[in-house]
Structure 1
Amino acid sequence: MSEQNLAVVHIIAGARPNFMKVAPLFHALKAENCCRPVLVHTGQHYDVNMSDAFFSDLQLPEPDHHLEVGSGTHAEQTGRVMIAYEKICFEQRPDWIVVVGDINSTVACALVAAKLCIPVAHLEAGLRSGDLTMPEEINRIVTDSIANLLWTPSPDGDAHLKAAGVDDSRIDRVGNIMLDAYEMLRGKIEAAATYEKLDLTPGQYGVVTLHRPSNVDDPAKLKTLVERISSAAQRCDLVFAAHPRTRQKLNDFDLMTSLSNAKGVHLVDPMGYVEFMGLVRKAKLVITDSGGIQEETTYLDIPCITVRDNTERPITITDGTNRLTAPDAVEAAVDQVLEGEWPKAKTIEMWDGKTAGRVVASLKSRLH
């Protein structure tokens, strides 16, 4: 089939976790002769060191369209994405659009497409935390309600959608696309051996990532976390990959000095995907408030201490290595891991690095 006759599928990416999810799908679609994938980068999160590294690691080409919307309030960001993306759709109307995850770009592009009667597929659909104070939860609910095709990663996703009255014909469980990215780059990740650069012994250190406003914007909460992490680091080296915003808050609240001087704490800048996963794969434990790492640690059977009140990925708790932990209980959780009192992961169906193939098959069956 000539390129002119191929269905045009826009794949939307706006932040670092999106890149990891779209890369395996982009490569799988490129290998098929059913459609032409067009990569749209909204620029919702843009940092040269972070974004460029991710595109390079994931072997993604320069985006076909870069909306360059930048940061702002939720309304500003969502509005700018909608205005910019609508122009793209008018100029080159796609046959389908694929949105991933739960960021503002996800709901913004889904709204544009839905109002133009362009079919929308949502990859990573059906996730719910039940916490409507999280902007991401609003984005998930709205996107799932207007998407034509909902690709879920696990049975709880199916259940959430059915409970909301979504017809079975719109739901297709495909598995966890994040793990495709890991398997796609497993060779590079293993070769990275990031722990060697930090003079760490495999299996004898932990990794820390914290960035959620609920943790880092509250001076008392962040102080508690710094104290617990600093204390736990005396028994297990902890590599703290500090997001720029987290680093700023640590400085604002006069916590940076005590953290950086704490014995066993290794404060480092954010890393590219390959480098970071090269560190995580040999970790004894992970302390985080991120979403995707909860899944990756379950896949790798690494204890995950999630500093949150809830999670939109409950299967990582019921079947995995993830546990929700309050800030003041982080040190006690680390001790539990060190004492061997932590659950092992079960095998989760379709978390096998082959999700992109199932997504392509699902999309092909709906292309006309």
Structure 2
Amino acid sequence: MSALVLHVTGARPNFPKAAPVIAALERRGVRQLLVHTGQHYDRNMSEVFFQELGLPEPDLNLGIGSGSHAAQTAAMMTALETVFLEERPDLVVVYGDVNSTLAAALVASKLGIRVAHVEAGLRSFDWTMPEEVNRVVTDRLSDVLLVTSADALVHLAREGVDPDRLHFVGNPMIDTLLRLRDRFDGSRVVAELSLPTTYAVATLHRPGNVDDPTTLARMVTALREVGDRIDVVLPVHPRGRQQLAASGLFDHPRVHATDPLGYLEFLGLVEGSTLVVTDSGGIQEETTVLGVPCLTLRPNTERPVTITHGTNRLVTTEDLTQHVDAVLAGGGPAHGLVPPLWDGAAGERIADIVVAGLPG
């Protein structure tokens, strides 16, 4: 029987990264299985992505759902071990930095199955972020490290990773963005909210921003001040819905909450916006390519290339409105160069590397 590649996805950020890799391997006739852990299970966080991105329906949906980091990761490991023992893949491909990625890498490594990590080497150097733990452990366990930016190569070299395991391939999430850009359409949301031509998009979900009451209060105050200047649309992530609603943020007449949006609708809304306020990693990359000023409410980023080659700036709740004013005055982040190899062909490069490493 031909070699088997098994992909593990689980959360919204995984899907646009996996789509071009799966498609490129399909064109090469590689036998594949797609496992969805169910880490994100809201339709607009999961199911709609498979439809819009042209992903095949998952061969298996483990339906793990939410829980504490320990409970969720443990449940994923138990379920994935059964799948890996039954299917005996030659390679497990994991994406990004979510709990599904860590769980799959741990199980595959203990079973002696090779692991390829797409988006390896990103570092925020902030160990309070669960994602940083997931990144570092996954990279340590991976046999094939597929890197999206040159800074990640530097991090991995400093950590002593064998250079033969490193491959600078570019960013497959940008493959998806470029392929579908002409289908982006945020007009429904614009019409429903009666948004003016000038509006901002905000996304906030990190525990450091929405779980601590003191930090949340500062963030709400800052966003209400932004709302004094420009309409703000905030698709509400399920994990932050209750805290944000209770905070009074949406009592402001120019701060508008929506349900989570599908990929095409959300990026259509972003592409038409004047600026984005976020704590998301992926949106820092997407706005870099779309040329939309991005103000990241975090003290650090694992994607510094979006600052050196893009439109991203790190901001605080204290200076957020200052940066918003600069953007509105035309003095905000200018569109920089697109980072190297963010050219729409990362999936093809990854597929070539995967195929070269498969047995027989």
Which category describes the TM-score, using the shorter chain as reference length? over 0.9
Structure 2 letter corresponding to 1:327: T
Contact 1:194 1:278 in 2 (8 A): no
Q: How does 1:137-156 map to 2 (within 5 A)?
A: 137-156=132-151
Q: How does 1:95-110 map to 2 (within 5 A)?
A: 95-110=90-105
Residue in 2 that maps onto 1:285: 275
Residue in 1 that maps onto 2:331: 341
Q: Which stretch shows the higher mean deviation, 331-340 or 304-313?
A: 331-340
Listed as ranges, the gaps of 5+ residues in structure 2 are none
Residue in 2 that maps onto 1:237: 231
2:348 maps to 1:320:
no
Q: Which stretch shows the higher mean deviation, 301-310 or 121-130?
A: 301-310
Contact 1:20 1:58 in 2 (8 A): yes
Structure 2 letter corresponding to 1:66: N
Contact 1:23 1:59 in 2 (8 A): yes
Report the identity percentage.
50
Structure 2 letter corresponding to 1:316: T
Contact 2:94 2:101 in 1 (8 A): yes
**Partners of 1:213 and 1:55 in 2: CA distance:** 27
Listed as ranges, the gaps of 5+ residues in structure 1 are none
2:350 maps to 1:365:
no
2:36 maps to 1:65:
no
Deviation at 1:196, TM superposition (A): 4.2
Q: How does 1:1-368 map to 2 (within 5 A)?
A: 5-33=1-29, 35-190=30-185, 194-202=189-197, 204-251=198-245, 254-256=246-248, 259-344=249-334, 345-368=336-359
Deviation at 1:48, TM superposition (A): 3.0
Contact 1:209 1:242 in 2 (8 A): yes
SS in 2 for 1:365: helix
Q: Which stretch shows the higher mean deviation, 340-349 or 11-20?
A: 340-349
Q: Deviations over 1:150-174 (max 9, x none)?
A: 0000000100000000111100011
Contact 1:302 1:321 in 2 (8 A): yes
Deviation at 1:340, TM superposition (A): 1.8
**Partners of 1:104 and 1:49 in 2: CA distance:** 19
SS in 2 for 1:352: coil
Deviation at 1:185, TM superposition (A): 1.6
**Partners of 1:348 and 1:232 in 2: CA distance:** 29
SS in 2 for 1:150: strand
What is the aligned length? Answer: 358
Deviation at 1:226, TM superposition (A): 1.8
Contact 2:105 2:115 in 1 (8 A): yes
What TM-score results when the alignment is normalised by the length of structure 2?
Answer: 0.95
What TM-score results when the alignment is normalised by the length of structure 1?
Answer: 0.93
**Partners of 2:21 and 2:316 in 1: CA distance:** 36
**Partners of 1:201 and 1:187 in 2: CA distance:** 22
Deviation at 1:192, TM superposition (A): 5.8
Deviation at 1:264, TM superposition (A): 2.1
